[in-house]
Structure 1
Amino acid sequence: MKEIRVGIIGFGTVGQGLAKAMLAQRERLQQRTGIDFVLATVADIAVTSLPDEFGQVTLTNNAEDIFNDPTIDIVAELIGGMEPARSFLLKAMEKGKHVVTANKALLSVHGKEIFAAAAKNNVEVGFEASVGGGIPVIKALKEGLVANRINYIKGIMNGTANYILTQMTDHGTPFAEVLKEAQELGFAEADPTYDIEGIDTAHKLAILMTIAYGLNVHLDDVSVEGISSIEPIDIEFARRFGYRIKLLAISRNHGESVEARVHPTMVPEGHMLATINGAFNGIQLRGDTVGDVLLYGQGAGMMPTGSAVAADVVDIGRNIANGSVNRVPALSYLPENIGEPTITPMEQLQCPYYFRITALDKPGVLSVITGIFGKHNISIRSMMQQGHDSNEPVHIVFRTHLAQEGSVEKAIGEINALDICTAPTVKIRLLISE
């Protein structure tokens, strides 16, 4: 039986998930592939011993031991971050080793360099676990939907943010309290910035767009807004209007340009994405041949992510065994056919909006605000006011018809500058049904 030997760099949550999956599924993988996948070496500077079940695995604190071992076929980089992860991947490929990574941040910034190095060294890069945890969305785009022009990508791609918004919706708990609870339960990191400010989601969207469109989409191409400004009152107004607030990644393919944005979005309660709650992820794709596809599952965690990394290891192992390395291009498109993106400017976006304006309850306030909206061609669909004590500011909520982002930003700037406004205006985009 063909033996494929694997080295893991980083024995944290994902590294342990991969190791456990390889051990638990070893016999099944032999039956499915005719290959014996062997975990040969683990490199980690902080681990002094491995669990008893990995007694045959070599432990080292030096990744060079993996790079310099000619018997290791595949290297799994599972430490995260930019460096030394980037250098480790490049060095492994220079040594002729295939690589697997779950590192979405690295790929969304340095992906072009990494995939070029893979092509140069005729090795494969597996990165299924970089988006959606255990959800096989990378494979779906690369292979299952290969006969499609992808028209849009929409998705909930961060379990921490989705958990927080779900708790706020179901229990009316303020953002700060839910975040603290999420940290205590292990759903949120001690520093949750990447999750709650949309950066993690933007990493993932950049990767999916690159595969979907055959374009080198970089993290900097994605417009990003987080959820830290969302308050229970916004959740309640959304409920009254028949919406749920979700942190969405959205990209539309206009042909000559593509949208790339991450922001809180009011999603109609009847929409598929509105029903995805807790720490789960859901990614909706539309192809011109297949129509709509929804992929749903656990977007993080030891075993779901370990499952995705193991799938890459098996795919690469099969290709090695059958002499078909790079049968499927890493980014689905042949390298020479991957171009540079033209990103649709945010100011050109058109969608309905929700505004919550906090202002003094004085005569003439509404006429001033609506006058500003009218000046910028923003048509109001409905208006509600909460609070009637003239000594306290009130919340005035507007929903608009389709409006242009550039005009909206100008109007909000003027409204926030008014003496009658006591807090920045909250703006949430509404999802357009397609």
Structure 2
Amino acid sequence: METIKIALLGFGTVGSGVYEIIRSHQERLRTLLGKNVEIVGVLINDKTKERHIDKDILVTTDIEQIFEIPDVEVVIEAIVGVEPGFTYLSKAIDKGYHIITANKELFAHKGQQLKQKAADRGVRISYEASVAGGIPIIGTLRQLLQVNSVVQIEAILNGTSNFILSEIRGEEISFEHALQSAQQNGFAEADPSNDIDGHDAFYKIVILFELLFGRQPKWELIRRKGIRNIRLNHIRLAESFGFRIKHVASLSYENGSVEINVEPNVVPEDHPLYSVEGVDNAVVLTGDLIGELKLQGPGAGKLPTGSAIIEDLVNIFNAEKQHRLVKDIDLKAGTANEFQTWFVIGNAVDPFDGLTLFENSINDQGKFVTARLIEATEGQVKQLLNKNSDLVIYPFAGKPSQPIKKAFVSA
């Protein structure tokens, strides 16, 4: 029986997961592909680290030794950062290898170049694991795009941030203690800035935009905020209305314009992201024909992410469908003159006459803290912040339902 030979770049959490799945699922892979699947080379960074890899597999820190292995068909890249991954994959494409990557930062920066290079060389490139771990969002979008136009995406794309917000709310602890819990459980790195400052989710929504519209957005027009400044009393105030704070990556397409935001949102109980807890990711898609579709599952971890990579391996030997390039599209930086709903925390000097929908207060360590749900334009919100710099304002996802739950709480 013929053998598909694979070179694996990186042997961290994702790379080791891919290795384990290929070893344990040989019979299933033979059934699906009609061939054996064999990892013949592994690129590592640190020779001194102990790894459990079969002795007949080349393990090396030298990429050129990987490229010298005969008859390799696929390179799976599972390392971190734009470089050296981009250089390695560019060389691999030049050698005629098919490419699978889980590197969201690399693909957000260089995905278009790699896809064009792969098309020029007649090889395939797949990247399902780069966006939402085990959730098959790339494949789902490709399927939808055959008939539907996707008009909106609302998603929780970073499991670390979602875990931290769930911990703050569930355990009633500070952001700092929730972050420590995430690190102790292996969900957050020693330097967690990529997750908690919103970069990880930002890269992922950029990848989805490019899949939908065939081009890169203007990064400077995307509003990005992380969760670093969220406090327990923000979450308790939201709960007093029946809401939760979630870190949401959103993309909405209307009348030839797209708006993208990556930031904390206040979501009501009937919103599909309200119940997404812990390290789960979730993506809510709205198509013009299918309506709303929700996908939820583990967004990280060696086996969920490894599973997405193996699905790419199975699919990569089928012709990759080409998707539309939308030429007449603009990326807009917010909707300054359109009314929308906002969740405002703090005691403003000036009244919110004509803006306030609902108001509530909680006792936070002897001080009453007020929150309001207001209907205002982005311009009005900026004016409020200019006059009252102590206010904290979150966008509201969806429309508030009637009546708003008011479960008054006290510390």
The TM-score with structure 2 as length reference comes to 0.91
Alpha-carbon spacing, 1:13–1:220, altered in 2? closer, same or farther (3 Å): farther
Match of 2:346 among 344, 352, 357: 357
Deviation at 1:60, TM superposition (A): 1.6
Paired with 1:286 and 1:159, the residues of 2 have a C-alpha distance of: 22
Deviation at 1:70, TM superposition (A): 3.8
Q: The residue matched to 1:54 in structure 2 has which SS?
A: coil
Does structure 1 residue 379 correspond to structure 2 residue 355?
A: yes
Mean Cα deviation higher: 128-137 or 101-110: 101-110
Q: Which residue of the partner structure matches residue 398 of structure 1? A: 372
Task: Write the letter of the residue equivalent to 2:176.
Answer: A
**Correspondence list, 1:187-198, <5 A:** 187-198=187-198
Task: Write the letter of the residue equivalent to 1:411.
Answer: L
Paired with 1:88 and 1:406, the residues of 2 have a C-alpha distance of: 46
**Correspondence list, 1:39-118, <5 A:** 39-47=39-47, 54-118=54-118
Q: Which residue of the partner structure matches residue 408 of structure 1? A: 381
Match of 1:429 among 376, 392, 395: 395
Write out per-residue CA displacement over residues 285-337 of structure 1, whole angstroms, 9 at most, x where no aligned residue. Answer: 01112111111110000111111111112222x33xxxx4xx423xx33xxx3
Alpha-carbon spacing, 1:25–1:193, altered in 2? closer, same or farther (3 Å): same
Q: Which residue of the partner structure matches residue 266 of structure 1? A: 266
Q: The residue matched to 2:273 in structure 1 has which SS?
A: helix
Paired with 1:219 and 1:19, the residues of 2 have a C-alpha distance of: 35
Write out per-residue CA displacement over residues 31-59 of structure 1, whole angstroms, 9 at most, x where no aligned residue. Answer: 12212111111111314587556233221
Tell whether the 8 Å contact from 1:215 to 1:341 is kept in structure 2 after alignment: no
Q: Which residue of the partner structure matches residue 332 of structure 2? A: 344
- Percent identity, please: 32
Task: Write the letter of the residue equivalent to 1:405.
Answer: E
Q: Which residue of the partner structure matches residue 361 of structure 1? A: none
Does structure 1 residue 257 correspond to structure 2 residue 253?
A: no
In structure 2, stretches of 5+ residues that fail to align are 401-411
Paired with 2:261 and 2:240, the residues of 1 have a C-alpha distance of: 26
Q: The residue matched to 1:273 in structure 2 has which SS?
A: coil
Paired with 2:82 and 2:397, the residues of 1 have a C-alpha distance of: 34
Paired with 1:195 and 1:49, the residues of 2 have a C-alpha distance of: 26
Paired with 1:85 and 1:160, the residues of 2 have a C-alpha distance of: 24
Does structure 1 residue 299 correspond to structure 2 residue 288?
A: no
Write out per-residue CA displacement over residues 224-269 of structure 1, whole angstroms, 9 at most, x where no aligned residue. Answer: 0111221111111111111111101111111311011011111111
Deviation at 1:25, TM superposition (A): 0.9
Paired with 1:235 and 1:353, the residues of 2 have a C-alpha distance of: 15
**Correspondence list, 1:305-316, <5 A:** 305-316=305-316
Deviation at 1:16, TM superposition (A): 0.5
Paired with 1:50 and 1:190, the residues of 2 have a C-alpha distance of: 21
Tell whether the 8 Å contact from 1:157 to 1:282 is kept in structure 2 after alignment: yes
Does structure 1 residue 369 correspond to structure 2 residue 350?
A: yes
Tell whether the 8 Å contact from 2:135 to 2:297 is kept in structure 1 after alignment: yes
Q: Which residue of the partner structure matches residue 176 of structure 2? A: 176
Tell me the C-alpha RMSD between the 2 structures. 2.2
Q: Which residue of the partner structure matches residue 186 of structure 2? A: 186
Tell whether the 8 Å contact from 1:82 to 1:105 is kept in structure 2 after alignment: yes
The TM-score with structure 1 as length reference comes to 0.86
Paired with 1:48 and 1:193, the residues of 2 have a C-alpha distance of: 28
Q: The residue matched to 1:130 in structure 2 has which SS?
A: helix
Write out per-residue CA displacement over residues 103-146 of structure 1, whole angstroms, 9 at most, x where no aligned residue. Answer: 11111122222222112212111100001101111111112542
Alpha-carbon spacing, 1:50–1:308, altered in 2? closer, same or farther (3 Å): farther
Deviation at 1:221, TM superposition (A): 4.2
Tell whether the 8 Å contact from 2:223 to 2:333 is kept in structure 1 after alignment: no
Deviation at 1:425, TM superposition (A): 1.5
Write out per-residue CA displacement over residues 383-424 of structure 1, whole angstroms, 9 at most, x where no aligned residue. Answer: 3345699xx9753322102x21122112211112xxxxxxx3
**Correspondence list, 1:314-329, <5 A:** 314-316=314-316, 318-319=317-318, 324=319, 327-329=320-322
Number of aligned residues? 399
Does structure 1 residue 201 correspond to structure 2 residue 167?
A: no
Paired with 2:18 and 2:165, the residues of 1 have a C-alpha distance of: 30
**Correspondence list, 1:147-162, <5 A:** 147-162=147-162
Tell whether the 8 Å contact from 1:164 to 1:175 is kept in structure 2 after alignment: yes
More helix by share: 1
Mean Cα deviation higher: 215-224 or 407-416: 215-224
Task: Write the letter of the residue equivalent to 1:203.
Answer: Y
Q: Which residue of the partner structure matches residue 234 of structure 1? A: 234
In structure 1, stretches of 5+ residues that fail to align are 359-365, 417-423
Write out per-residue CA displacement over residues 132-165 of structure 1, whole angstroms, 9 at most, x where no aligned residue. Answer: 1011111111125421100100011110000011
Paired with 1:218 and 1:430, the residues of 2 have a C-alpha distance of: 24
Q: The residue matched to 1:384 in structure 2 has which SS?
A: strand
Task: Write the letter of the residue equivalent to 1:57.
Answer: I
Q: The residue matched to 1:250 in structure 2 has which SS?
A: strand
Deviation at 1:427, TM superposition (A): 0.8
Paired with 1:219 and 1:227, the residues of 2 have a C-alpha distance of: 20
